[in-house]
Amino acid sequence: MEYQILKTAVSEGIATITVSRPQALNALNSRFFQEMDNLLAELGRRDDVKVLIITGEGKAFAAGADIAEMVQKTQSEGQEFSRAGQKTFRSLELFAKPVIAAVNGFALGGGSELALACDIRVASTKAKFGQPEVNLGLIPGYAATQRLPRLIGLGNALYLLLTGEMIGAEDALRMGLVQKVVEPDQLLSAVTELAKVIASKGLQAVRLVKQVTRRGFLMDFEAGCALESEMFGSLFGNEAAEGMRAFLEKRPPKWTE
């Protein structure tokens, strides 16, 4: 597929996807979802990709779904547009490798939901977050009503969802919506360094941490613990053997791809 909206670069095990519709503040349209679906499938097959970064071009991460595309939709078409976005963001959430959102500017509506589907969020001090759908007589369509309460608690989520208020990076950090805030000129370097740290760890262990944590979060505690034990044991005689030997021999581990 020819990519018109998404730009991709891969270096040192890190793939960076840049949403590039700066003239529309990177608003998410049907083409975006098609491209992201295909790109995730491509990158998921690449052994040289260990961590994924998503960011936006210009002054927005993504300023919501494309209202110009939505305005004429019927109820059934609106439902289908929602399902397409939910499918893409679920694929991102289930992507086998860690995904970091580098939020450089506006992350509103669907743009906020894109960030919510990532594993870690790092924000520029100029970043702005919000779910302004109620201002348009809408509700979120890409699972913000489900992910936001799980990330920041019910009260904080309902506050943002019901008021449509836009908050800055520091408030997002306080709520737990983002994990780190840095100056704009340091954003990509900070996120890249974070990605390098993660990429340096045991490859299978990193993937299983994401899988077990995400799956376990939606299970009851005992079922989650059982899953953890199963995956913990699966690494013995495998990647963990090298990691533990390297520790005892006081040398860096030599991970296999």
Residues assigned a catalytic role: 113, 133
Q: Please give the structure tokens belonging to residue 160.
A: 């943002």
Angle ∠(207,125,57) on CA atoms, nearest 5: 70
DSSP 8-state symbol, 234: H
Place of tokens 């894109």: 114
Element (DSSP H or E) covering residue 212: helix 203-217
Q: Please give the structure tokens belonging to residue 112.
A: 């906020």
- 5 within 8 A of 21, measured Cβ to Cβ: yes
Positive or negative torsion for Cα 118, 121, 122, 124: positive
